[in-house]
Amino acid sequence: MISNRYLILLFSLFCFVFKSQGQEEFVDISKISSFQHLAPHAKILEDPEHLFTVEQILKDSAIQAEYFSSDAEIPYMDFTRSTYWMKLKVENPTDEKLTYYIELARPLTNVVRLYVYNEDGSLDYLHESGDIFPFDHREYEHRRFVFPHQFPAHSKKILIIETESDGEILKLPIKFWVIYEFTQFVSKENFYIGLYYGLFILVIILYSLFGIALREKLYLYFVSYVFALAIFQFSLDGLAYQFFWRENPWLANHAILIFASLAMLGMLLYVQQFLDFSEGFKKYNAVYKVFIFLVVISLLVCLSSGIFYSITYPILNALSFLAVLFILLGIVMKARKDKKLELPILLAFLALTVSSTLFILANVDLIHSEFLASNSLKLGSASEMIFLSIAMAGRYRKTQLDKMAAQESVVKQLEEINELKSQQTEKLEIEVAERTKEIQQKNTQLSTQNEEILNSINYAQRLQDAILPTDEELSSALPNSDILFLPKDIVSGDFYWMKETENHVYFAVADCTGHGVPGAMVSVLGYNSLNRCIQEFNLRDAGKILDKLRELVIETFSNDKIKVSDGMDIALCVWDKKSELQFAGAYNPLYHIQNGELNEIKGDKQPIGYFDNTSPFQTHTIKLQQGDSIVLFSDGYADQFGGPKGKKFKYSQFKELLLENQGKKSPAWRTELKSAFNAWRGKEEQIDDVCVLTVDF
């Protein structure tokens, strides 16, 4: 009969075994000297419907049977949209606190959360990251998901990792790094990454210059392909999110598929242009266009979200692999037809095929190699860039040789042409001498005629200046007045007029049809007609003066054989030498400045001249106060082109300029307006005559 002592011992052993089987062991992290993969020690749970909470994972409530484990250092979960949970228990049995960098997931994962619980089930810390958050949300700025965490002495912690992807391959590493070792690793890694992307930058710059110099589509397609491939790799490494679009989670999630599609499209267009499948490859070319169409469709789907977006990952991977194999087939077919093998481009796509195969096999975990999963595509694309650059250099050399041959052919043709020219030279020289003599005679005649015309125009200017009021006449009748008069040509179509009687001062600014000699002729008519209105017809009302002026102009230009529609726009004032001012206008307005404010009084919308629907001109009466200013002007100042964008000066800016200079005495007012006009005009041509008259009261 078994004694009680042995029964008690057997029962204790049974309880210990049962307890040890029912509990997970804590992993001792104090023994990590460099880094260690702890994923094989973790329990994993797939949550395809996103139903579970972290509290359920912590307590293993009702889902114990659904956990599984993986022997792989980096568990592979295929293309998926499920949430995956990992649970790992760690301990620090030492007397010192330990700090590690915990690396989780791969750079393209949407959600990565690390919950750190104490042994009693209380939450110690929550680290949250992922591509759905802005990059600045990360605690540690790195392209990978790295979480620094400190483990106190003699502590036990329960780590729960929550990860979620939008359809991309999901990998679940849990890598503990000693801080110094991680820093050293990153330094070496950055050096090689710099060399890799430096190769892309060199190729882009070099062949962009070739493309600009040669202006060929081939170089455009090649550079576009290399650029898109570089950004694709940059996005795949998580560097694009870190440096290019830190605040754009949408682009961080979509960039890899967008630039993968663009890289494929650039590759297909480049190879099509390089190998030229247009002749002799009708069936192949038709299938080739299907590939291009499918890539364009994939690119559009990449901009979506949800289930359509998630299935694009495996489709685009398969499509890119098939496209590369199809290109290799085309290279072989082209070589058999032309009996010439494009060896560099063949090696380039062989390297891409091998690297793509290794990349896919490593990412689907058929080859257990973290190095190949991370770097095979880099090695292949770098080799591809080198071989393609050699192929492009060969194409450039061939282009230059073809140009040299063409130039030699052109030189021979030029020599033959020169022989023919030499035979005609003597005959032509005789004819040229005769023609030159005739031209010289005609030039002499034209010079004489031009001098006579200029003399006539200059004399016309003297005549026009003679009828315009002098500065002394203006100062006498209007003591506080000034005039800016800038004809576009020697003579002007704009003119200013002033007439003083015993009780009134009449003054006006007019803009005649055209400028130069035609405008000047109309201005003489207008000037004389205004004088007749005052002296001959004794008119004192501004509106009636313009009515009579229009009548005189139409009467002068009336002819049974020729209908002349020329005339003028005018602003006319009648001042009673006290406090009342009359104004009438034909299109042109009057500016009245009072107490620092500018009031615009518009003229009638009809000219002085022939007009279908004429009506009497309206007379406006203005009560003047001391300090008021009246400004009359033509449209030449406001319509002048200039400034930094070559646009019109415009009336709003003209009004501001008048307000700034109101009250300034002659010639300061005139100097300021002229300087502003010339500064605005700059190197632009003056487009019209300019006339601005100001009167201060």
Identify the weakest region by mean pLDDT among 243-252, 582-591, 662-671. Answer: 243-252
- Among the ranges given (51-55, 439-443, 467-471, 547-551), the one the predictor scored with the smallest mean pLDDT: 439-443
Nearest to 41 by CA among 55, 56, 29: 29
- The CATH class, in words, for 189-401 is mainly alpha
Phi-psi region of 340 (alpha: psi -120 to 50; beta: other; left: phi over 0): beta
User: Residue 101's beta-bridge partner residues?
Assistant: 148, 177
* Cβ pair 522, 514 in contact under 8 A: yes
Indicate the domain borders of the chain: 23-184, 189-401, 465-696
Distance, CA of 263 to CA of 266 (rounded, Å)? 5
> What was the pLDDT predicted at 506?
96
> Helix crossing, 249-275 with 343-363: angle to 10°?
150
Tokens, residue 132: 């759905």
CA–CA distance, 611 with 446 (Å, rounded to integer): 40
**465-696 domain in CATH 3.40.50.1820?**
no
Instruction: Inform me whether the pLDDT recorded for 543 exceeds 50.
Output: yes
Angle between helices 370-467 and 179-214 (to 10 degrees): 50
- Predicted TM-score (pTM) of this structure: 0.51
Where is pLDDT greater, at 671 or 4?
Answer: 671
Q: Across the chain, what does the average pLDDT equal?
A: 83
Task: Supply φ then ψ for residue 115, to 5 degrees.
Answer: -100, 125
pLDDT at residue 1 tops 50: no
The per-residue pLDDT for 22 is 41
Distance CA 519, CA 523 (A): 6
Looking at residue 23, its pLDDT comes to 47
Cα 26 to Cα 463: distance, rounded to the nearest angstrom = 112
Confidence (pLDDT) at 452: 66
Tokens describing residue 286: 């038709």
Lowest pLDDT segment from 13-17, 413-417, 593-597, 614-618: 13-17
Does position 15 have pLDDT exceeding 50, yes or no?
no
According to the model, what pLDDT value does residue 459 have?
62
Cα distance from N-terminal residue to C-terminal residue, the chain: 138
For 446, counting Cβ atoms within 10 Å of its Cβ (0-12 exposed, 13-18 middle, 19+ buried), the class is exposed
Of 25 and 653, more confident: 653
Q: What is the torsion angle, in degrees rounded to the nearest 10, for the CA atoms of residue 626, residue 628, residue 631 and residue 632?
A: -60
Mean of pLDDT values over 541-550: 94
Most confident of 8-22, 93-107, 414-428, 434-448: 93-107
Bigger pLDDT: 320 or 670? 670
Q: How many CB atoms are closer than 10 A to CB 315? A: 15
**Sign of the alpha-carbon torsion through 128, 132, 133, 136:** positive
pLDDT, tens digit, 9 for 90 and up, residues 620-648: 999 999 999 999 999 999 999 999 999 99
401-415 mean pLDDT = 78
Q: What is the mean pLDDT of residues 518-525?
A: 81
Which residues, 6+ apart, have CB-to-CB distance to 144 below 8 Å?
103, 106, 107, 238
The torsion defined by the Cα of 377, 247, 182 and 233, in degrees rounded to 10, comes to: 10
- Taking the C-alpha atoms of residue 693 and residue 483, their distance in angstroms, rounded to an integer, is 5
Element containing residue 174 per DSSP (H, E): strand 174-178
pLDDT (0 to 100) of residue 654: 94
CATH architecture, domain defined by 23-184? Sandwich (2.60)
